[in-house]
Copies of this chain bind each other. A is one copy, B any other.
Amino acid sequence: MNITQPTLILDKQKCLRNIQRMSDKAKKHNVKLRPHFKTHQSKEIGNWVKSFGINSITVSSVSMAEYFADAGWKNITIAFPFNILEIEKANNLAKKIKLNLLIENFKTFKFLNKNLKSNIGFFIKIDTGYHRSGFSWDDSEKINEILEAAKNSSKLNFIGFLTHSGQTYHAKSKKEILQIHFDSIKKMNSLKEKYIQDFANIEISIGDTPSCSIAEDFKGVDEIRPGNFILYDLMQYKLGSCSIQDIAVSLACPVVSIHKERDEIIVYGGGVQLSKEFLTDKNGNKNFGYIINFQENNFSLPVKNTFVKSLSQEHGIIKTNSDFISKTKIGDVIGILPVHACMTVSAMKNYLTFDGEVLETC
């Protein structure tokens, strides 16, 4: 690798293993895997996913749906409350592919019913406890209002209920993640039972990577939409979703300075590359990433007692020890395992694989 500036290195083999594992799990539990592509945002990685027989995906914006439709995907759910200002783009997409939108208010439903030019599928977004968006799972009045109108709509085809239990990201243990997961699918199943007489093919779609990675019970669930699992990151590692060896991306950074007097290394690679997401340890210290060395076609295990303690726009400040300092030279390239891969990918806009291939994102 001829690296001279911050470069996001992608381990394709790890990606393939991560996809294989989730694909096997979905088959085992008889749920459809509709992976979220907002994490990797790459046509090429999309093709790797496709090679596992997966043909329907999730994205987080209309623009991302356009990008992946252009790449040949024919069945896309935009898992974001539909933005009515993008109706023209949605109409263009709906002519070409099977498009599913997410609705979480009656005004948007009415707007779509009036302005859509082709048929679309829609999910109702359900809040099972994250309290970011969606109708509360027990808000029958608002759910009924849309479902009654849907019965008379020729354009909007109700597919089912969709939730994202993002509260798992704040869980303190795997046990807590599983509790959130079970509570969430219990609430979703109660909705399925309630409405299945009117909508025989009603689907339940759940999403978060921690639940999908850790849980082994998907009773009543029809579809899972994890996204981060293809790359994973330190946040997922800390939650217990993956092992450290499953993390498939690392930001390669040139060493530009070494401060022995305070056991710190300065690299070219900061907030504009990694994003400023951090983990907090029990003492309240921030950690913006672990450090690895690049081996032939692999990342080493993290260097012990070493982490990114702060980030400026282009600087990364690594706190380490005299042992690692003594092995490190100015001009070396070391790797940072990112805290949040979705944000790092979005900031970097491309990857370099160990084979030297550059993959662009949307």
Binding site for B on A (CB under 8 A): 3-5, 38, 60-63, 80-86, 89, 104-105, 107-108, 111, 131-133, 166, 254, 256-259, 262, 266, 268, 271-272, 275-277, 310, 312-315, 317, 329-331, 333, 342-343, 346-347
Give the chain B neighbours of A60 by CB distance below 8 A.
Answer: 313-314
Nearest B residue to A62 by beta-carbon distance? B5
Of the A-B pairs whose beta carbons lie under 8 Å apart in the complex, a sample of 21, sorted by A's number, is A3-B85, A4-B89, A5-B61, A60-B313, A80-B314, A81-B266, A83-B256, A83-B268, A111-B331, A132-B266, A132-B312, A133-B259, A133-B266, A166-B312, A271-B343, A272-B343, A275-B275, A313-B342, A313-B346, A346-B347, A347-B347
Among all A-B residue pairs, the 6 with the closest Cβ atoms:
A4-B85, A81-B256, A272-B346, A81-B257, A84-B331, A60-B314
A317 to B134 CA separation, bound complex (whole angstroms): 12
Give the chain B neighbours of A85 by CB distance below 8 A.
Answer: 3-5, 254, 331, 333
A133 to B62 CA separation, bound complex (whole angstroms): 43
In the complex with contacts A82-B256, A85-B4, A330-B105 CB distance below 8 A = yes
Give the chain B neighbours of A166 by CB distance below 8 A.
Answer: 312
Give the chain B neighbours of A132 by CB distance below 8 A.
Answer: 266, 310, 312, 315, 317
A83 to B216 CA separation, bound complex (whole angstroms): 48
Secondary structure of the A contact surface, majority rule: mixed
Give the chain B neighbours of A5 by CB distance below 8 A.
Answer: 61-63, 83, 85-86
Q: How far is the CB of A84 from chain B (nearest CB, A)?
A: 5
Nearest B residue to A104 by beta-carbon distance? B257
A332 to B89 CA separation, bound complex (whole angstroms): 18
Give the chain B neighbours of A82 by CB distance below 8 A.
Answer: 256
B83 touches A276 (CB 8 A): no
For A82, A89, A275, the residue with the greatest tally of chain B CB atoms inside 10 Å of its CB is: A275
For A84, A89, A256, A346, the residue with the greatest tally of chain B CB atoms inside 10 Å of its CB is: A256
Give the chain B neighbours of A111 by CB distance below 8 A.
Answer: 330-331
Please pick, from B89, B104, B258, the residue contacting A105 in the complex, using a CB distance under 8 A.
B258
A268 to B89 CA separation, bound complex (whole angstroms): 15
Give the chain B neighbours of A262 by CB distance below 8 A.
Answer: 131
Nearest B residue to A346 by beta-carbon distance? B272
Give the chain B neighbours of A4 by CB distance below 8 A.
Answer: 83, 85-86, 89
A61 to B5 CA separation, bound complex (whole angstroms): 9
A166 to B275 CA separation, bound complex (whole angstroms): 19
Q: How far is the CB of A139 from chain B (nearest CB, A)?
A: 9
18 more A-B residue pairs beyond the given contacts A4-B86, A5-B83, with a C-beta to C-beta distance below 8 A: A3-B85, A5-B62, A5-B85, A5-B86, A60-B313, A61-B314, A80-B256, A84-B254, A85-B333, A105-B258, A108-B256, A108-B330, A111-B330, A132-B317, A133-B315, A271-B275, A276-B343, A313-B342
A330 to B108 CA separation, bound complex (whole angstroms): 8
A61 to B60 CA separation, bound complex (whole angstroms): 32
For A82, A107, A133, the residue with the greatest tally of chain B CB atoms inside 10 Å of its CB is: A133
Q: How far is the CB of A245 from chain B (nearest CB, A)?
A: 25
B276 touches A38 (CB 8 A): no
Nearest B residue to A277 by beta-carbon distance? B276
Q: How far is the CB of A40 from chain B (nearest CB, A)?
A: 13
A342 to B312 CA separation, bound complex (whole angstroms): 10
Nearest B residue to A135 by beta-carbon distance? B259
Q: How far is the CB of A307 from chain B (nearest CB, A)?
A: 16
Give the chain B neighbours of A312 by CB distance below 8 A.
Answer: 132, 166
